[in-house]
Amino acid sequence: MKNNLLLRLALILMLLPTLGVAQNDAEPYTINHGPYLQGLTYDGVIVCFTTSHRGFSGVEIRRKGTEQVRLCRTSKDGLFEADNTLNSIHIEGLEPATEYEYRIISKRMLSFEPYKVTFGEEIASEWYTFSTFDPKAEAVTFVVANDIHDDAKKCADLLSHMPLDEASMVFYNGDIMSHYSQQGQPYASFIDVSVEKFATQKPFAVVRGNHETRGHLARQYGDYIHNTRDGKYYGVYYFGTTAVVMLDCGEDKDDAHPVYAGLVDFDRYREEQAEWLKQVVRSKAFRRAERRIVIVHIPPTVERMAEVEQNAKVVPDLMTWRGNAHLGELLLPILNKADIDVMLSAHLHKQVIFPVQPGVVEFPIIANDNVSAMVVRSSSEGVYVKIVGRDGAIKHEKTY
Ligand SMILES: [Fe+2]
């Protein structure tokens, strides 16, 4: 009997490589990152997470206080996503301004042969809650943090001074990573800490900076970040009477700069966004909004902004960089006519507030430094912006 058992064990060990079983086979099956919410709207959400081993996963969702559960999975071309670890489950058809509960369910896949699939452990997460956005909301509060540069402790410190209970979501305004060069880096840099602080209940969006486009894995960043349902980094969030436009700035230097080795196409990409932006600012939803905020990592600049005394030193310097100058040339003519209340930027690693300059820039541009986060509250009183340092000190507070 004992010999028989040893023989079977030896046979299983011999078979393991052919079954594609990972080296850490003996470790229990877990949800090892997330869940975190992305792309929340009035009627949908994307739930993201990873499992420790390959599996078959889904999300169960129910209206809070009810028992009827809907199972959501990702399905493409007739096939459910399976035998994977990284998941982003799109859930649609939700009611606006409604509280939901969700949990992850997952089955480990031990083998996946053409005519025989062997499942392993089945797991379920705890139930988490979130609310869909309210199309009738008269006010919204959100948080903006930027230039974290892979420092998860800084991310945690900045978030610790932010009113995450009151906020509807967090916008990470670029350079959250310095470059994407290691597997799992987005988790270590900011996603895990976001999950711990808020992201199981409230979404974040990543408005990319010039640094997130760097590194040999930058082209896979979209596997983790789902700002919009159509999978683009740029887009618009609507919170009732407030519209928030996210623009994807691209690189700071010219596309032909040798450091990019001919691998980038940001001039064309910024032009694509300018064409898209023209449609957005003409749209009913955008015109109907009472307050309009733009978030972009690199502040757009034009020469004439240097006429303002305090900008005389900053702007000429910025104009030597392709990113600022091209964004200025493309975006300002569109946004100057679009009744923008305020633009929120980053990138400079110091606080610079570019004031309204009629005929040049018709809205203030607030570039946050790299050691502070912003609370933004948009209401009938205007757009209130408070900038709080890593130490909790208030560095700027004004209603625009
Ligand atoms: Fe930057």
Is the backbone of residue 231 left (phi > 0), alpha (psi -120 to 50) or beta? left
Are 98 and 215 contained in the same domain?
Answer: no
Instruction: Put the strands of the sheet holding 365-367 in their side by side order.
Output: 235-239, 242-247, 291-296, 342-345, 365-367, 352-354
- The Cα-based distances of 188 to 73, 198, 223, 313, 357 in angstroms read 26, 16, 15, 37, 41
Specify the amino acid at residue 311: N
Are 196 and 101 contained in the same domain?
Answer: no
Span from the CA of 346 to the centroid of ligand 1 (angstroms):
7
Task: Supply the pLDDT for residue 17.
Answer: 41
Helices 322-335 and 266-282 pack at an angle, to 10 degrees, of 20
Counting every residue, how long is the chain? 400
Task: Supply the pLDDT for residue 25.
Answer: 81
Three-state DSSP state, 190? helix
d(CA 219, CA 29): 28
Q: What is the CATH number of the domain that holds 42?
A: 2.60.40.10
Are 228 and 341 contained in the same domain?
Answer: yes
Burial of 357 by CB count in 10 Å (0-12 exposed, 13-18 middle, 19+ buried)?
middle
The reply to whether 11 falls in a domain is: no
Task: Supply the pLDDT for residue 4.
Answer: 57
CB proximity list for 172: less than 8 A, separation 6 or greater: 144, 145, 146, 148, 190, 204, 205, 206, 207
Span from the CA of 320 to the centroid of ligand 1 (angstroms):
15
Provide the strand spans (E) within 39-74: 45-63, 70-72
Span from the CA of 317 to the centroid of ligand 1 (angstroms):
15
Are 167 and 265 contained in the same domain?
Answer: yes
The reply to whether 192 falls in a domain is: yes
- Identify whether the C-beta of residue 245 lies closer than 8 Å to the C-beta of residue 285: no
d(CA 382, CA 233): 27
The reply to whether 273 falls in a domain is: yes
Range of 62's domain? 20-131
Tell me the two tokens of residue 183. Answer: 């597997």
Task: Supply the pLDDT for residue 232.
Answer: 97
The reply to whether 13 falls in a domain is: no
Are 261 and 328 contained in the same domain?
Answer: yes
Are 54 and 93 contained in the same domain?
Answer: yes
Span from the CA of 209 to the centroid of ligand 1 (angstroms):
5
Domain termination site, one of 131, 149, 170: 131
Q: What is the CA radius of gyration of the chain?
A: 23
d(CA 150, CA 211): 11
Across-strand partners of 56? Answer: 107
Tell me the two tokens of residue 29. Answer: 């099956």
Are 193 and 295 contained in the same domain?
Answer: yes
Three-state DSSP state, 379? strand
- Identify whether the C-beta of residue 135 lies closer than 8 Å to the C-beta of residue 240: yes
Sequential pLDDT tens for the chain (400 residues): 445 545 454 544 444 444 434 447 889 999 999 999 999 999 999 999 999 999 999 999 999 999 999 999 999 999 999 999 999 999 999 999 999 999 999 999 999 999 999 999 999 999 999 999 999 999 999 999 999 999 999 999 999 999 999 999 999 999 999 999 999 999 999 999 999 999 999 999 999 999 999 999 999 999 999 999 899 999 999 999 999 999 999 999 999 999 999 999 999 999 999 999 999 999 999 999 999 999 999 999 999 999 999 999 999 999 999 999 999 999 999 999 999 999 999 999 999 999 999 999 999 999 999 999 999 999 999 999 999 999 999 999 999 9
Span from the CA of 177 to the centroid of ligand 1 (angstroms):
10
d(CA 222, CA 10): 42
Are 195 and 50 contained in the same domain?
Answer: no
The reply to whether 127 falls in a domain is: yes
Q: What is the CATH number of the domain that holds 368?
A: 3.60.21.10
Span from the CA of 15 to the centroid of ligand 1 (angstroms):
50
Task: Supply the pLDDT for residue 21.
Answer: 43
In the chain, the number of structural domains is 2
The reply to whether 6 falls in a domain is: no
The reply to whether 15 falls in a domain is: no
Task: Supply the pLDDT for residue 26.
Answer: 84
Are 155 and 118 contained in the same domain?
Answer: no
| Nearest Cα to Cα of residue 341 among 282, 290, 304 | 290
Span from the CA of 143 to the centroid of ligand 1 (angstroms):
18
Are 199 and 101 contained in the same domain?
Answer: no
Question: Chain-centre distance of CA 14, in angstroms?
Answer: 44
Span from the CA of 144 to the centroid of ligand 1 (angstroms):
15
The reply to whether 3 falls in a domain is: no
Domain termination site, one of 112, 131, 150: 131
Domain termination site, one of 114, 131, 148: 131
3-state helix, strand, coil in the chain (%, to 5): 25, 35, 40
Are 190 and 95 contained in the same domain?
Answer: no
Are 162 and 284 contained in the same domain?
Answer: yes
Three-state DSSP state, 242? strand
Span from the CA of 300 to the centroid of ligand 1 (angstroms):
12
Span from the CA of 366 to the centroid of ligand 1 (angstroms):
14
Tell me the two tokens of residue 173. Answer: 């305004």
